[in-house]
Chain A
Amino acid sequence: MIALLMRDLRLAVRAGGGFGLGLAFFLIVTVLVPLGVGPETALLSKIAPGILWIGALLACLLSLDRIFALDFEDGSIDLLATAPLPMEGIVTVKALAHWLTTGLPLVLAAPALGVLLSLPQGGYFWIVVSLLVGTPALSVIGTFGAALTVGLKRGGLLMSLLVLPLYVPTLVFGAEVARRGGEGLVVQTPLLMLAGISCGAVALLPFASAAVLRINLR
């Protein structure tokens, strides 16, 4: 399993691996929004947590179809399925590799990009916390969507349609944590809900992903 994780991380940073693609997309979204909205600091700082969350979510979505598609094309997924690793372990490692290469850089970049959106003073800490707690759910749910659509020609669009509705609860509570944190309100309830969603997704969805992947390999 560690070998698979190391291979995926290594592939991500090699040429054509797509590492940084999500990050660049995130950067562009957060640069474009102030240009579109105009130089109203009050308005910007009000919508900043939401924009950061939507940007992170879309950046995450961008790299999802690579999770299994590349392994499916070159036949590694068949060979991995016959290897001694359990399928649930394979999908968990794939989700973890996706989070490490996409989710974690987004978490780290968010405060820097928050400056562009004039995020309120207290919001920097909470945007990091909310993304740190919420992005694992995005990766795991996305892995499920990628497993559902693996092997479909141009499955990327279908996957987005399947995955985006499943992202709604994470987005709602994640953005709420960041907004409340920025305004200095109590964040306990949405933060716990967000953590609950993440824990539930991480615990349950690998089984679902493994099941649909097995069916898709037939």
Chain B
Amino acid sequence: MDLQVTDLAVARGGVPVLEGLNFSVADGRALVLRGPNGSGKTTLLRTIAGLQPALEGEVIGAGERIAYAAHADGLKTALTVTENLTFWAKVFGNSDISAALTGFDLLDLADRPAGSLSAGQKRRLGLARLMVTGRPVWVLDEPTVSLDAASVALFAEAVRAHLQAGGSALMATHIDLGLDEADTFDVTPCRAKPRVSALDEAFL
């Protein structure tokens, strides 16, 4: 099942930021969103992940199929790397975290508290979480922030393996991951024109 977005308009804080979005991500493909800061990429991804309602239009093939990774990694600093990953695996009904630990080179850090990791290591742990969700559509917001070149390569490898297994990925990133399966979508032409809202501001 493809992820399909039709005539989608999204709003941030009640103000429309993007409108008329049409794209689809087929299984085995990745779509990279591009656009300047503040153009609404994060808002779009949050809408697709179901965290906020769409202003208009619809998203098909999202919902329970999505694994979402935001700017924040959702790590508990008092828990170890293994405990953090195991928790998310259990939430998604899985139990095997070894592939995720190896995939993101976290084996040596497995027993360290997440609070003692560096920013890049935390990010790797946050991305490793995607692998334990078992969900087919990865929705990623700036996944490569604070990663070094080697870790970006690890991440690209994980995405490639995920795509080859029939999954798909939608991500906002400015780094070229060197994925052959990736298309690019520029959100700039879809920026919303200012419109007069019929709703009372107090209820937005």
Chain A residues within 8 Å of B, Cβ to Cβ:
2-4, 7, 10-11, 14-17, 71, 73-76, 78-85, 217-218
Contact: A75 with B74, CB < 8 Å?
A: yes
Instruction: Check B91–A78 contact: CB distance below 8 A.
Output: no
Query: Closest residue of chain B to A218, judged by CB?
Result: B52
CB distance from A137 to the nearest CB of B (A): 28
**How close is B95's CB to chain A, nearest CB, in angstroms?**
10
Contact between chains at A4 and B79 (CB < 8 Å): no
Binary contact track B58-76/A, C-beta < 8 Å → 1, others 0: 0000001011111111111
Count of B interface residues, CB-CB < 8 Å? 29
Binding site for A on B (CB under 8 A): 46, 49-53, 64, 66-79, 83, 87-88, 90-93, 129
B93 touches A84 (CB 8 A): yes
Q: Are A79 and B74 in contact (CB under 8 A)?
A: yes
Residue contact A217 to B51, C-beta cutoff 8 Å:
yes
Q: Is the CB of A14 within 8 A of B93?
A: no
Interface of A is mostly: helix
Q: CB-CB < 8 A to B49: which residues of A?
A: 82
Asked if A14 and B79 sit within 8 Å, CB to CB, the answer is yes
B202: min CB distance to chain A, Å: 14
Q: Which residues of A contact B75 (CB under 8 A)?
A: 74, 76
User: Are A79's CB and B78's CB within 8 A?
Assistant: no
Cβ contacts A to B, 21 pairs, < 8 Å: A7-B79, A10-B83, A14-B78, A73-B72, A74-B73, A75-B70, A75-B73, A76-B75, A78-B68, A78-B70, A79-B74, A79-B129, A80-B74, A82-B50, A82-B51, A82-B66, A83-B92, A84-B64, A84-B92, A84-B93, A217-B51
